Structure 1
């Protein structure tokens, strides 16, 4: 789907505050409510907008650590690894990557002991490398129109 500048403005507004009413959104992008409604509907139907979510603060939910774990896994164990990771609520995302690691995943933990226990669930499947995230100077940014 080709996304024009008006639709990009709508997307930027919704990424900033997905709870905007259509009236507020129309005012922000200087369009009529029906026009904005139609564009949002098209963006949803085409899969550009995949959902609306609450953004949570892991620290407030008891997760004091965040870590990136790289793992090198032999082909026969890849499905097993993904099954285990999918069942772990602490795993926020997992990426199949190039380079030394087969997968790179980010997880949350209550403390170092919890982190160690989480990594232990998968380290029998391959060699792991764990990096505790000290801070996140650039958090998940809004997707913006390419220049």
Structure 2
């Protein structure tokens, strides 16, 4: 990926609804050239979708928690199937360390969170951290420092 690809990605991450005309204007390319770049980035899997960011608290989910769980190997498939049935689990990561998985959940209340944890606890030992605030919300990717210092790729 070159510098222009990263400029396009930066603009799309800031505003996924930006028009190709505006995108082309901001990166100093023609509309067909920027359209081709975006299509190439999509085909390569660099851009893997477009979505609206939803504020959980404003949408009725004021409680957010991070839960780590240690799941025994024989139960992993059933555990992952369970997570598919719980829409309040908004992301889950298979990790190294003390936990097998770390997930982020949202809930409408502490009682609701407790019910969710009880369902998840059937598959292993959990550790829950309640999110008090988010000083650094999810953000877009920037060009890797190594890539901007002369390495190719």
Query: Cα offset for 1:86?
Result: 1.4
Q: Summarize the alignment of residues 53-132 of structure 1 with structure 2, pairs less than 5 Å apart.
A: 53-132=51-130
CA distance in 1, matches of 2:41, 2:34: 10
Q: Which residue of 2 aligns with 1:138?
A: 136
TM-score by length of 2: 0.93
Query: Which of 50, 53, 66 is the aligned partner of 1:52?
Result: 50
Query: Cα offset for 1:27?
Result: 0.6
Query: Which of 15, 22, 27 is the aligned partner of 2:13?
Result: 15
Corresponding residue pairs, total: 145
Query: Cα offset for 1:60?
Result: 1.3
Query: Cα offset for 1:87?
Result: 1.3
CA distance in 1, matches of 2:16, 2:123: 40
Unaligned runs of 5+ in 1: none
Unaligned runs of 5+ in 2: 146-153
CA RMSD of aligned residues (A): 0.7
Query: Cα offset for 1:30?
Result: 1.0
Q: Which residue of 2 aligns with 1:36?
A: 34
Query: Cα offset for 1:133?
Result: 0.5
Q: Which residue of 1 aligns with 2:149?
A: none
Query: Cα offset for 1:89?
Result: 0.6
Query: 1:87-120 CA deviation, whole Å, 9 max, x = no partner?
Result: 1110011111111111110000011000000011
TM-score by length of 1: 0.96
